[in-house]
Each structure stands twice: as structure tokens, then as C-alpha cells.
Amino acid sequence: MATLEQKYSRLSNHFSACHFLIGFSKCDRLHGHDYLVKLKLMYQSEFVGHYFDFRTVNNLLNQIIKELDHKILLPGDSPSVNILPIRNGENWLVKVQGKEYSFPQKDVIILDEVEQTTCESIAEYLHRQITIKLNKADNFKAASGLTVTLSETEGNLVSFSSKIG
């Protein structure tokens, strides 16, 4: 049995989004990034030439990226951020550090299990979402590990790795 890995690093695996980082000087203001996502999928195989279809994995990744693209990313589990529906449920009122923002709900994604929308937390969020999709796909049962690498600025990147399956 061999451990094999496939890497997915298309330039099309990117999204643009804005966020704020509580307590990080100028980054606590609303600002944006062009994020680039790379994946490494590890699995066990008796057949050295047996790989997963790149298109399938990239399609799964792009389903998730599409949900984040051109959105305002809010932490769903932050004790410092209060998110309330307003205007008959059309907007979110976001209260943080004495500031109040009102965003149309269609422009926002609230990231579950995220306390702060750092690059590290977003990479872990992406890992969870990709793992859920891979676990639902029968042909990925042999997958043993996944690494998600996220770049928010050229040269600044973080990787989150964990076993899956």
C-alpha cells in the first residue's frame, strides 16, 4: 500500500472577500483580500497510478469558493461580534468594538465555528467544508488526509492539515 498525494493549485481557485480582525490595529477596520486556495489530498492506494479526477476535486472546491466570493466574511462564534437581523430580515446589524455596520444579508456569509476571520481560521473553515463534501463522495473514501493552503496576500500564506475519512 502506497501513500500518494495530489495537489490542486489552479489560479482559478481564488475568491475576493472582505473582513475585519478584532484587535489587530488597522486590520480591525473592514478591508478586503484576493484569496488563493491550494489543496493537497493524501490517500492510500494499492495502485500507484490511481489518482482522483482533478476536475472533480476542483469542482468541489469551487462550489465552496463560490459561496465566499465577493462576500463579507463574519465570524459566527465570536464573543466580541454581535450579529442581529434587521429591516425585516433583509440586513444584518453587526456590532463590534463600539462600531455598527448594516449589511444586506445576501452580501454576507457567517462562518460557523469561527471566532475571528483570520487567514488561519478561514483555512480551517475551508478544510471542514471540503472534508464534508469529500466524505459524501463515494470515490474519495480512500482519502486519508487533506491540506488546505490559503494565501490572503502574495507571499503571506497559511496551511491547515488534518486526517480525513
Give tens-digit pLDDT for 72-92: 999 999 999 999 999 999 999
Task: Give, to the nearest 10 degrees, the angle between helix 54-68 and helix 119-136.
Answer: 130
- Does 24 map to a domain? yes
Measured CA to CA, the distance from residue 88 to residue 109 in angstroms comes to 18
Helical H segments across the chain, by residue range: 54-68, 119-136
pLDDT at 50 over 60: no
Task: Confirm if 96 and 80 have CB atoms less than 8 A apart.
Answer: yes
Mean pLDDT over all residues of the chain? 90
- Does 17 map to a domain? yes
| 126: DSSP letter | H
- Does 40 map to a domain? yes
Q: How many domains does the chain have?
A: 1
- Does 12 map to a domain? yes
pLDDT at 150 over 60: yes
Question: By residue range, what is the domain housing residue 21?
Answer: 2-72+109-163
